[in-house]
Amino acid sequence: MKKQIVIATHNTNKLKEFKSLFEGTPYEVLGLADIKFNGEIKEDGETFADNAVIKAQTIHKFTNLPVIADDSGLCLNALDGFPGVNSARFMEGLPYSEKNAAIIKMLEGYSDKSAKFVCAIALVGLEKFPQVFIGEVKGMIINEERGKEGFGYDPIFFHPNSQKTFGEMSIKEKDDISHRGRATSLLFEYLKTHYF
């Protein structure tokens, strides 16, 4: 029987990405809906790593299963890393098409359109202390949404080496280079060494 591991998210897109990453491993991936968790988690950390650990520890207390939680976001160099840890809460409740339009507008007066996606993944429940893995990918913000794949800020985040936005990439293409893909591969190296 497969061991269970919880991905601390209600986001079906994110869950789908993690399920594809866990294919062929001894673990069955569960989401928050599977463990019937509907509580609020106050993510008030100062860094992506802080928030990932807060989330993972909260869910681990609830379920006692090992938990993987991530916190990720977009950091714009011209705006001192804004929206950063507030990426999901920026213009909360509005669709990402409106958030993306707002980001494009905010950068209008700047020649520096460089940006990075950062992802911190926390693993809680397998070791005495939380393990944290951080991945980053650099790119730039373009002036219009391109592509229907991905989610969030993906359609305005252009990856120069690929000559595509994250919104134009398949899950597989994105996994290979994305911030979440990089943080996850560090997590997997760790899991393979210790648990697979």
Given a contact cutoff of 8 angstroms between Cβ atoms, the answer to whether 105 and 156 are in contact is no
Q: What is the pLDDT of residue 175?
A: 83
Whole-model pTM: value is 0.88
- Pairing state of beta strands 82-83 and 67-76? antiparallel
How does pLDDT run along the chain (196 residues), one tens digit per residue? 889 999 999 888 788 878 887 888 888 999 999 999 988 888 899 999 999 999 999 999 999 999 999 999 999 999 999 999 999 899 999 999 999 999 999 999 999 999 999 999 999 998 999 999 999 999 999 999 999 988 899 999 999 999 999 999 998 898 889 998 899 889 989 988 887 6
SS3 56: helix
**Distance from chain centroid for Cα 10:** 12
In degrees, to the nearest 5, what angle opens at C-alpha 31 toward C-alphas 25 and 35?
115
Compute how many other C-beta atoms are within 10 angstroms of the C-beta atom of residue 196: 11
- Cα dihedral: 27, 66, 133, 46 (round 10): 150
Question: Which sequence spans correspond to the domains of the chain?
Answer: 3-194
Candidate list 71, 80, 112, 154, residue with the active-site label: 71
Q: What is the pLDDT of residue 21?
A: 77
Report the alpha-carbon distance of residue 76 to residue 132 in Å, rounded: 23
Q: What is the pLDDT of residue 172?
A: 84
Q: What is the pLDDT of residue 23?
A: 86
Is 71 assigned a catalytic role? yes
Q: What is the pLDDT of residue 57?
A: 97
Structurally, at CATH architecture level, domain 3-194 sits in Alpha-Beta Complex (3.90)
